Structure formats: structure tokens, C-alpha cells
Amino acid sequence: MTDNSLRTDLFSPTKLGEIELSNRITMAPLTRSRTGEEGIPNELNVTYYVQRVSAGLIISEATNISSQGRGYAMTPGIWTEDQVAGWKKVTDAIHVAGGKIVVQLWHVGRFSHVDLQPNREAPVAPSVIKTTGNVYTHRGIEKSSMPRALRTDEIPDIIEQYRHAAECAKRAGFDGVEIHSANNYLLEQFLRDSTNHRTDQYGGSIENRARLVLEVVKAVTSVWGGGRVGIRLSPVTIEVGNTPLDSNVMATYGYLIQQLNKFKLAYLHFVEGTTGRNRDVPEDIDLDALRSLFDGAYIGNNNYDFEMAISRRAEGKVDAVAFGRPFISNPDLVERLRYGIELVDVNNDAYFGNGAKGYTDWLKANY
């Protein structure tokens, strides 16, 4: 391809499984804490997502699959009828505007606080290992609580939470779902031997530690089929609670990815490096080698700029690129990239809370 065609390739239509995209630029999931305590999307959320509809695919902010799965205040859910109705307003508006949106299904596991849990119960995890991180509660920033280990007989209920959320997502009008198996939350806590010290069929060997992820994928694809289900992985991310890496990243994630191929998923959404920080990778880990094991479409994520996106696409290393923070302050990011318009820098104070300010007013405000 010529230099010009390389630059325009990102704006060409593509397909991720059964999901047709108008371009190869996706909006990464971004927690913004702009819903009420019941986790019901509101009109402000509708405006926010529609403003960013030019993305080929919008991946929603991480969305709780149950009251147990919640780890941050004012984040949306997808397990009650009221939440379904709230999200339906978002998806309807997106579709009227010509866009596509999938919901990211989220269970935080140990990364929570008793104030956010039903009946102030302890958060659940594969093992009784406390994270060092903080969470956002109704009172502000708090240290995460000590988790309890899930009993083996409780794990089917976790899988059912994902299946139920997937059904709710279909009724809410989404174009598909993304399983959040990254960023050191519940599914990745089971996957890594640094956070999984179990001795039952969900702990010990790589096959056992990957079991829950694969059972969740099976449950979700039973609702949607593989072609409308993506999954997010982050093999070297440690930022949530300073979670140590698995002792053998290549073997563990390599096994998981090869098993995922059986489901013929729409895409693999891969965090290349440490989420939101850098693209540094330990010398013994080859993320491109892991990526190449996946048979389907691949979304690259983490600190991409336009030139990197062009380069990685030209090398055949990505099918689409996820941009995160640039979409916060540039709702019209796709057009800005297409026409070389300077990007607006995000104001960190605008990330969480604050209502419309720093959320839906970027097109008319000067930050």
C-alpha cells in the first residue's frame, strides 16, 4: 500500500466476527463514574456515548454483572430490568446515529470494599489474598477490604452471573459483549498463580486456573454465539492492587488463547504493556507471539497514537486499534485523526464524577 493508503486504512470498514464496523478505530472501555447508586444509565450517559459514535466500535465502560461484582461507586450494571432499560436508551441512540456498541462484562473480585458489597459482605476472590489498592466508595477513596475465597460450590453461581448479564445485554440492544478478563479483576485473579493459590479444580495447573475463564466464555457464547463475543486480556498489567505477574506468562496466556480459539470469538482485545502507563514488557515475554496464537480479529490497546496505529496496522499486527483517554477529551477523535486536527489534552480532574463537566462538554468548552 502507498503511504496515503496506509494512513486511510484505519478509516476503512472491517468486520470483527459478525460485528460490522465503519472503521478500525474503537473506543476503549473507560470507567467514568457517572451513574447513580443503582447503576442505571441515564440521559447524561446517552449524550456521552452518542457524542463518540464515529468510533467504528464503542466498547462500553466496565459494567458490573451483579451486585457482588461491584468495586467502584457510581458504575453501571447489567443485571436488573431497570439497568437494561437504561442501557436500551443508550444503544437505541447509538444505532439511530449509525454506530455499534458492545458492553464489557465486569466482576472485580477481590478489588472491592465491604461498603460496596451486598450486606457488607467480604469481596470474593480465588484465594484470601488482599490487594494493596484503593477503591472508590460513597465516602471517597478507601483501602480495599480483605476478600474471602470462593467455595468450589459457589463458582457455578459466578458463571451464571455472567450468563445472566449476557442475556440482559442482548435485551438491552447491544451489538455484542466483551468479557473483561484483564486488569487484575476476578477472571484474571483466577488465571494468575500470583493470586490463585487454590487446591481444587480451579487452582494449581495452568489448565485449572484457566478453567473459570473458559467456562464463562462458554456460558456467554451460549447466549450470543462466538461471533458477537470478544475478550480482553492483559498479560503484563499489574496496576490494579499491584498484582504480580503470573510466574509463566507465555505458557499461561498461550494456553488460554489457544483454548479460546475453539469458541470462534469476534475478537481478542489485548493490553500491550501496563494499562494506561507504558508499553514496557519483560524480556522473556513476547506479546506479539501470544497475539499470533489467536485465530480471530485482534484489537491492539495501550498508549497508541495515530502513527503507531498506522505502523502496527501496516505490519499486519492489528485489525483494529483501541483508543482510551483521547476519546475522553476528543469526542470527535475519529475526525481529528482523519484530518490531522490537533487533539485536546485530557484534564485528570475530569476522569471521575463531576456530572457533565469533563464528560459531555468537551465540544463546547476550552480545557
| CATH assignment of the domain containing 130 | 3.20.20.70
Residue 322's DSSP bridge partners are: 26, 301
Structural contact between residues 130 and 147, judged by C-beta atoms closer than 8 angstroms? yes
What sign results for the dihedral spanned by CA atoms 293, 299, 301, 304? positive
Structural contact between residues 299 and 270, judged by C-beta atoms closer than 8 angstroms? yes
In the chain, which stretches have pLDDT less than 50?
366-367
> 72 an active-site residue?
no
Instruction: Tell me the C-alpha to C-alpha distance, in Å, between residue 301 and each of 19, 104, 139, 269, 319.
Output: 19, 15, 32, 7, 11
Give the side-chain half-sphere CA count within 13 A for 18: 13
In a domain, 25, yes or no: yes
CA distance 320 to 316: 10
In a domain, 130, yes or no: yes
CA distance 62 to 60: 6
- Active-site pick, 185, 253, 255, 359: 185
In a domain, 359, yes or no: no
Domain housing 28: 14-350
Name 248's Cβ contacts closer than 8 Å, sequence gap at least 6: 206
In a domain, 297, yes or no: yes
- Give the end-to-end CA distance of the chain in Å, rounded to a whole number: 38
In a domain, 1, yes or no: no
pLDDT of residue 364: 64
- Cell for 288? 506479539
Instruction: Tell me the C-alpha to C-alpha distance, in Å, between residue 199 and each of 147, 206, 210, 243.
Output: 17, 12, 14, 20
pLDDT of residue 300: 96
In a domain, 8, yes or no: no
In a domain, 151, yes or no: yes
Q: Rounded to 5 degrees, what angle do the CA atoms 334, 327, 53 make?
A: 55
In a domain, 7, yes or no: no
User: Is the pTM above the cut of 0.85?
Assistant: yes
- Cell for 283? 524480556
Residue 140's DSSP bridge partners are: 137
Counting the structural domains of the chain, the total is 1
57: Cα separation from own chain's centroid: 13
CA distance 206 to 335: 44
Give the side-chain half-sphere CA count within 13 A for 331: 15
Structural contact between residues 49 and 93, judged by C-beta atoms closer than 8 angstroms? yes
Extract the runs of DSSP E, i.e. beta strands, from 202-278.
229-233, 267-271
Torsion angle in degrees (nearest 10) through CA of 353, 328, 58, 324: -110
Structural contact between residues 39 and 3, judged by C-beta atoms closer than 8 angstroms? no
Picking from 289, 314, 283, 319, the residue whose alpha carbon sits closest to that of residue 301 is 319
